[in-house]
Amino acid sequence: MRLEKKKVLITGGGSGIGQACTKLFLDEGAQVIVTDVNNQNLKNTKKLLKNYDFETVEGDVSLSSDAKYLVNFTTDKLGKIDILVNSAGVTQRNAPSEFDFEQTWDWVININLKGTYLMSWFTVEEMKKNRGGSILNMASIIGLVGYNKKISNGLNPYPHSKGGVIQMTRDMAVGLAEYNIRVNALCPGFTKTKLTQDLLKDEKILSDLESLHPMGRLANPDEIANAALFLSSDEASFITGVCLPVDGGYTAQ
């Protein structure tokens, strides 16, 4: 097993890519703590993976107190953290309907960028004690290139947040290499998750999105999880600071 006895903390594990990572990492022998801000999502993951042994804990990664609690909860339960997967994320489409443009900006940046930072901050303290670890951040192809103009007006906070995650990944990788802490990011293409389900209900939008990917389709969460497994595992022991597109050729155009 590729993650045998590894202690793993996965944020945003109540759905989508985080949930797919949870299943795959458990299959590969890891001990996993799954977090999500939505307790119902955690219950759904527990139900879906009812034959697996793992614990869940509710928390908001954008709050320093919650982020610290989630890390402490994991170390108390598992003894240490070998791998952190920062998968919690939102888009402007999911923002509360009463939010104006500035509130939406703050909400997206706080969860996607600040949340990744806070979880990494408290986890790094623990990883330094253990002389190593692997942090995997969930960025996006839209952190590498701009949105297609049919999708965004250029003032969407999502790509701005994911661009920040990419730069954070590179800077952390350089700064933490001396402690044997690897930091990498995945940049998924459009993937069939809760974050995109509203878009995909429209057949025209779905067709347009599929046509933007040279492979002519969107990703499944399992395909992103497979890449997450590699970058998180010891097989990637000499890889750090990489922001890997898993995008069906989207960014190769």
Give me the active site residues, please: 158
Q: Hey, CA dihedral for 202, 204, 209, 210, is it positive or negative?
A: positive
Q: Which two tokens stand for residue 196?
A: 């995109």
Q: Cα separations (Å) of 50 from 5, 10, 248?
A: 20, 17, 32
Q: Rounded to a whole number, what is the distance in angstroms from the first to the last CA of the chain? A: 36
Instruction: Name the β-bridge partners of 134.
Output: 83, 182
CA distance 131 to 142: 33
Q: Which two tokens stand for residue 143?
A: 């952190």
Maximum separation of any 2 CA atoms in the chain, in Å: 52
Q: Is 179 exposed, middle or buried (0-12, 13-18, 19+ CB in 10 A)?
A: middle
CA distance 124 to 1: 25
Say whether 183 sits in a helix, a strand or coil. strand
- Count CB atoms within 10 A of the CB of residue 106: 15
